[in-house]
Amino acid sequence: MSAVDCQGLRKVFRASVRRGVLSRENSEILALDGVSLKVERGVIFSLVGPNGAGKTTLIKILSTLLIPDGGSAFVEGYDVVKQASKVRSIIGLVLAPDKGFYSRLSGLENLIYYGRLYGLSKSEATRRAKELLDLTGLGEDGLRLYEEYSLGMRAKLSIAKALINEPEIIFLDEPTIGIDPLSARRIRQLIKDLATGGRTILMTSHNMWEVESLSNRVAIINNGRIVAEGSPQELKERLQLTYRIEVEIMWAEAPDMDLPVAIGERGYPVVSLTTNRPSEDLVKLIDEIRSRGYSIGTVRVQEPSLEEVLTRVLSG
Ligand X SMILES: Nc1ncnc2c1ncn2[C@@H]1O[C@H](COP(=O)(O)OP(=O)(O)OP(=O)(O)O)[C@@H](O)[C@H]1O
DSSP code, position 142: G
Of 51-59, 79-87, 125-133, 307-315, which segment contacts Mg ion by CB under 5 A? 51-59
CB of 176 to ligand X, least distance (A): 14
Question: Which residue number, 200 or 204, has a Cβ lying nearer to Mg ion?
Answer: 204
Choose which of 4, 44, 48, 56 interacts with Mg ion (CB under 5 A).
56
For residue 26, count other CB atoms closer than 10 A to its CB.
Answer: 8
CA distances from 90 to 85, 110, 234 (A): 9, 20, 31
Question: Which residue number, 52 or 100, has a Cβ lying nearer to ligand X?
Answer: 52
Helix axes 151-162, 107-117, angle to 10 degrees: 20
The contact pattern for ligand X, residues 18-57, with x = CB under 6 A and - = no contact, is: -----------x-x-----------------x-xxxxxxx
Helix axes 151-162, 122-136, angle to 10 degrees: 130
CB of 170 to ligand X, least distance (A): 17
Identify what 269 binds: Mg ion, ligand X, none; CB under 5 to 8 Å per kind.
none
Determine contact, residues 112/125, Cβ cutoff 8 Å: yes
Told to check if 176 binds Mg ion by CB under 5 A, we report no
- Give, in degrees to the nearest 5, the angle at Cα 96 between 93 and 100: 65
Q: Is 112 exposed, middle or buried (0-12, 13-18, 19+ CB in 10 A)?
A: buried
Question: Which residue number, 51 or 123, has a Cβ lying nearer to ligand X?
Answer: 51
Binding residues for Mg ion, rule: CB under 5 A, are 55-56
Binding residues for ligand X, rule: CB under 6 A, are 13, 15, 29, 31, 49, 51-57
